[in-house]
Structure 1
Amino acid sequence: MASAKLFSLEGKVAIITGAASGMGLATAKLFLDLGASVYGVDISKGPTELASSPAFDFLQIDLRQKGAPERVVRECQQAFGGRVDALLNIAGVMDTSNSVDTLDEDQWNKIIAVNLTAPTMLSKHVVNACLAQGTGGTIVNISSKAGISGSVAGVAYTASKHGIIGLTKNVAFRFRYQKIRCNAICPGGFTTNITQSIDRTQIDQEATKLIEPVIKLHQEGYMDNAASPVHIASLCAYLVSDAGSEVNGAIIPVDNAWSCI
């Protein structure tokens, strides 16, 4: 196979959550450029710059709604010839960095519902679709530096992102013989809508102390080359392409060696 074709996404149908902005939008754009058909999903309105593309369709939906993940997969199949080849679980929400002693139950339920339950149920329906097709498939989950550490976020976000890693490893192992691959990316800190939306006034004093090591890393230059959304999009494309066909069950930090400290 020619090297250029290894990285092509021609003919693949991908569901991308969080596609209205940030990592999700960057991934949708790159996948379209590489020849994929993209079914974007977000709680916000769809990106106008992609609306004219015949290879792009979009569903505005709250993935916490009962039946929403199943609907996403069904309507993707209806839009693109009855198939789905890839799922990019990118949508997510931050917490307010509370530790367990000050945890608000409503916030816990929201974080787990968006960051863990929705990706899990989407994975269920995409795996079943891929099994029915008999052609294999790929799932890429966005975890976080908080998914491999306990020191960079609140308890709800940390638990949700650790859960994503468990989901990734279990799906990868259980469906390896059906050629359904599942990998996770763990970005370090960088600016997207999810981080800009944090209400700093709701972060308690203990949580403020939690963030200080991250600020120090910025001051010392460790984060000077932190990943942008397009870096994450490029890794997603590699993992979905034939070039990444032997990568399965991998947990990949993208944090300029932050996780090495």
Structure 2
Amino acid sequence: MLYNTAPDALFVPQTAVDPLGFGKVAIVTGCASGIGLAVAQLLLAHQFQVCGLDVAEFDYALLREADHGRFHFTRGDLTKPGACEDGVRVCAAAFGSRVDVLVNVAGVMDNFSSADGVSDELWDKVMAVNLTVPVKMMRSVLPFMKAKKDGVIVNVASTAGTSGAVAGIAYTSSKHGLIGATKNVAWRFRNDGIRCNAVLPGAVASDIGKTIIAGRSQLWDSDAFAQIEPVHALQAQPSAAAPTITALEVAKTITFLVSDQARTINGVSLPVDKAWGAV
């Protein structure tokens, strides 16, 4: 029953409909862990239908059982030819030929190597995952968004997207490039009802974050990391007053950018970094 038959009585609806995500479809890359998982969980909580893409297997135990019917997972390497297009096609087939939201989360870290030491293999891998895949994903969803004159894209960049003192040259270049791609898409499709923004997380609580804070890895370029380590020691060390940023906190920022509350925000790079970017 939509309406109360007694107009002088309090009307309490039997079910609550979340206007943020009800009837909408979101694609989340890198959904199996970290920020991607938190984004998928939060969007499902807002009643989105979510299509998750990841190279790793997904643990359905990390979702509420009630959300399983609104979540479709496809495992695959998005750097392979045609994989991005196939992922979007599968999502459109699963949820009714529409894509309302794309969140590009999938990314890989480099080994902190500098321009004089980065290998071709590492450069190609980092650029492919962190920059080429997000651009191909955006290319694949834009026809759906243009057709209905509405859509939101959020790219997960990094503090390294605006600073040269956070990571190696490959990761730094890829995230700078992703911010540029975000601005270009935002401007080009601003009159098509499409918004494209980026978030720039700082030191997020994750396995790689813990390793960076500890300052040790057999695979890192030790000389290059020695130049960056003081910055990480200054910015990435958690304390009671400034605890490490959680994946859920980044996901909440992304959800805000997806919402109508941010409908006039387009082409921005929003730091989620405890003022790291202010240095």
How high is the TM-score relative to the length of structure 1? Answer: 0.92
Match of 1:28 among 19, 36, 40: 40
Aligned to 1:74: 89
Measure, in 2, the Cα distance between the counterparts of 1:222 and 1:118: 37
Matched, 1:160 2:178: no
Q: What's the offset of the Cα at 1:219?
A: 5.1
Q: What's the offset of the Cα at 1:129?
A: 1.8
Match of 2:257 among 229, 239, 244: 239
Is 1:92–1:194's contact at 8 Å kept on the other side of the alignment? no
Is 2:107–2:130's contact at 8 Å kept on the other side of the alignment? yes
Q: How has the CA–CA distance of structure 1 residues 193 and 223 changed in structure 2, closer, same or farther, with 3 Å as cutoff?
A: farther
Is 1:93–1:194's contact at 8 Å kept on the other side of the alignment? no
Matched, 1:84 2:102: no
1:92 partner SS? coil
Measure, in 2, the Cα distance between the counterparts of 1:38 and 1:142: 17
1:131-169 alpha-carbon deviations (Å, 9 max, x no partner): 13x231010000000001011100000000000100000
Q: What's the offset of the Cα at 1:260?
A: 1.1
Measure, in 2, the Cα distance between the counterparts of 1:155 and 1:70: 29
Matched, 1:210 2:217: no
Q: What's the offset of the Cα at 1:48?
A: 1.6
- Runs (4+) of structure 1 moved beyond 6 Å? 4-7
2:164 partner SS? coil
**RMSD of aligned Cα (Å):** 2.2
Q: What's the offset of the Cα at 1:196?
A: 5.7
| 5+ residue gaps, structure 2 | 1-15
Aligned to 1:188: 202
Matched, 1:250 2:268: yes
| 5+ residue gaps, structure 1 | none
Is 1:85–1:138's contact at 8 Å kept on the other side of the alignment? yes
1:86-123 alpha-carbon deviations (Å, 9 max, x no partner): 10000100000011001111000000000000000000
- Percent of aligned pairs sharing the same letter: 42
Is 1:6–1:241's contact at 8 Å kept on the other side of the alignment? no
Aligned to 2:23: 11
Q: How has the CA–CA distance of structure 1 residues 40 and 194 changed in structure 2, closer, same or farther, with 3 Å as cutoff?
A: farther
Q: What's the offset of the Cα at 1:240?
A: 1.0
Measure, in 2, the Cα distance between the counterparts of 1:235 and 1:220: 20
Q: How has the CA–CA distance of structure 1 residues 143 and 48 changed in structure 2, closer, same or farther, with 3 Å as cutoff?
A: same
Measure, in 2, the Cα distance between the counterparts of 1:14 and 1:218: 31
Measure, in 2, the Cα distance between the counterparts of 1:5 and 1:243: 17
Q: What residue identity is the alignment partner of 2:57?
A: K
Corresponding pairs, count: 257
Aligned to 1:125: 140
Between 1 and 2, higher relative CO (CA 8 Å, sep ≥ 6) is seen in 1
Aligned to 1:141: 155
Structure whose CA Rg is larger: 2
Measure, in 2, the Cα distance between the counterparts of 1:112 and 1:92: 9
1:59-89 alpha-carbon deviations (Å, 9 max, x no partner): 0010110000100110100000111101000
Q: How has the CA–CA distance of structure 1 residues 6 and 33 changed in structure 2, closer, same or farther, with 3 Å as cutoff?
A: closer
Q: How has the CA–CA distance of structure 1 residues 150 and 79 changed in structure 2, closer, same or farther, with 3 Å as cutoff?
A: same
Q: What residue identity is the alignment partner of 2:29?
A: T
1:54 partner SS? helix
Q: What's the offset of the Cα at 1:8?
A: 1.9
Q: How has the CA–CA distance of structure 1 residues 179 and 81 changed in structure 2, closer, same or farther, with 3 Å as cutoff?
A: same
Aligned to 1:177: 191
Q: What residue identity is the alignment partner of 1:246?
A: T
